């Protein structure tokens, strides 16, 4: 998948921008606050109908406007066709989403049409953030490689919500709690099988990507399913009922799953330098894109915000080399364009854009100024 055309209207400080004939690598440069990240946010909207910076809608819309709009033409690189995609978000109304001329009731099909991986400052949360962030990362892979994953995931969390409602009201006896516990056990086991299968495929790909970016022998990554590996979920749900009645929520299950990264016996986030952490996060993200390409006919679009930050020239070149090998479209930002121009092969299709005070201008050449 790739975007060949992008129209942005009233996204933060970008009132209007029209980007055509987009390349494999698209570099946006300019001073801080010029609007570079806003372009990446607009692209992200074409995948999930919201920004990656916040779930809040109001900051995304230009303060002088009542709504923002993003339109794109998403090309299937293999087939050569394209799907028009449009997303409009209003301050007062619901989202309007169109894909290939059809209105959508939810953003779900957008992600299937345009899989996106984001590498930015918030990506460090994969190491030091909450388990929910790592579950989301893992489940992104499950959704894109296992067609049954989404429905099982939705049913699991719907079941969990019903069970928690009973627990909050102290209803820990009777056929109703037994029924929801049995269903949660069944769905949790199925979701765990999907996650385990994906994780087993992911690990060797991640190790290859990490080795290309960083010499870090001994980094370990483990999948924790959310309950004791030696006990069944069904048994634990039964045993924990008295405690769950006191707490008002389910204490074990797939909603407690996590990815745990450790180095030299400690949490990776506690012992790795900031630069090392960024490279580990990059390896995680690139590995997901690479595995998606290997297991399906899809390719991710990568949004990389402020790539030079925390990375020296050699590591920037290594990361860009990995992205090139995927033949995935990349949208990347930086302050100084010279920090990135030399990081790509001579035959790579590159387009350069200067962003200044919300105005985006395509540059005719990519040589030094």
DSSP string, 95-107: -EEEETTEEESSS
Q: What residue has token string 């994906």?
A: 198
Q: Kindly provide the b/e burial profile for residues 230-256, where b requires at least 16 CB atoms within 10 angstroms of the residue's own CB.
A: eeebeebbeebbeebbeeeebbbbbbb
What would the mean pLDDT of 250-272 be, rounded to a whole number?
A: 95
How much is the pLDDT for 368? Answer: 41
Average pLDDT over residues 269-283: 94
- Assign 145 a pLDDT band (cuts: 50, 70, 90): confident
The larger pLDDT score, comparing residue 189 to residue 53, is at 189
Residue 367: the pLDDT is 46
Ordered by start, the domain boundaries in the chain are: 1-115+299-314+324-369, 122-297
Paired with 330 in beta bridges are 25, 302
> SS3 string of 315-330?
HHHHHHHHHHHHCCCE
Quick one: pLDDT at residue 300? 92
Residue 7 pLDDT exceeds 50:
yes
What is the domain class of 1-115+299-314+324-369 according to CATH?
A: alpha beta
pLDDT at 212: 94
Mean pLDDT, to the nearest integer, of 310-337? 94
What are residue 27's phi and psi, to 5 degrees?
-105, 125
% of the chain beyond a pLDDT of 90: 81
Confidence category of residue 210, pLDDT binned at 50, 70, 90: very high
**pLDDT for the residue 82:** 86
The conformation of residue 256, written as its DSSP 8-state character, comes to G
pTM of the full predicted structure? 0.93
Write the class of the CATH domain 122-297. mainly alpha
d(CA 315, CA 311): 6
Cα–Cα distance measured from residue 346 to residue 14, given in angstroms and rounded to the nearest whole number: 31
Q: How confident is the model at residue 369 (pLDDT cuts 50, 70, 90)?
A: very low
Q: Is it the case that residue 107 has pLDDT exceeding 90?
A: no
């Amino acid at each position: 998948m790739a975007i060949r055309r992008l129209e942005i209207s009233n996204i933060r400080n970008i009132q209007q921008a029209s980007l055509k004939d987009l390349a494999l690598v698209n570099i946006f440069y300019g001073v801080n606050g010029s609007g570079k990240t806003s372009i990446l946010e607009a692209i992200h909207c074409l995948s999930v109908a919201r920004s990656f910076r916040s779930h809040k809608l109001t900051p995304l819309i230009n303060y002088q406007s009542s709504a923002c709009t993003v339109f794109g033409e998403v090309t299937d690189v293999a087939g050569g066709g394209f799907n028009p995609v449009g997303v409009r978000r209003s301050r007062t109304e619901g989202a309007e989403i169109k894909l290939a001329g059809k209105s959508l009731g939810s953003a779900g099909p957008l992600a299937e049409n345009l899989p996106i991986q984001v590498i930015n400052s918030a990506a460090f949360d994969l190491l030091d953030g909450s388990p929910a962030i790592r579950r989301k990362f893992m489940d992104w892979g499950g959704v894109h490689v296992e067609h049954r994953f989404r429905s099982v995931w939705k049913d699991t969390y719907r079941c969990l919500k019903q069970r928690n409602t009973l627990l909050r009201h102290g209803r820990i006896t009777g056929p109703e709690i037994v029924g929801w516990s049995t269903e949660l056990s069944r769905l949790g086991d199925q979701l765990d099988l999907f996650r385990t299968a994906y994780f087993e495929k992911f690990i060797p790909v991640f190790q290859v990507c990490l080795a290309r970016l960083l010499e870090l022998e001994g980094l370990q990554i483990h999948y924790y399913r959310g309950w004791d590996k030696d006990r069944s979920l069904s048994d634990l749900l039964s045993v924990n009922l008295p405690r769950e009645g006191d707490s008002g929520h389910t204490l074990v299950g797939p909603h407690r799953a996590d990815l745990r990264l450790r180095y030299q016996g400690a949490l990776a986030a506690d012992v790795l330098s900031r630069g090392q952490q960024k490279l580990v996060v990059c390896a995680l993200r690139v590995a997901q894109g690479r595995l998606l390409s290997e297991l399906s006919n899809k390719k991710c679009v990568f949004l990389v915000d402020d790539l030079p930050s925390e990375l020296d020239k050699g590591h920037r070149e290594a990361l860009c080399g990995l992205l090139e090998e995927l033949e995935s479209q990349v949208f990347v930002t930086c302050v100084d364009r010279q920090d990135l121009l030399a990081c790509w092969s001579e035959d790579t299709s590159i387009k350069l854009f200067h962003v200044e005070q919300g105005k985006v201008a395509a540059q005719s050449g990519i040589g030094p100024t």
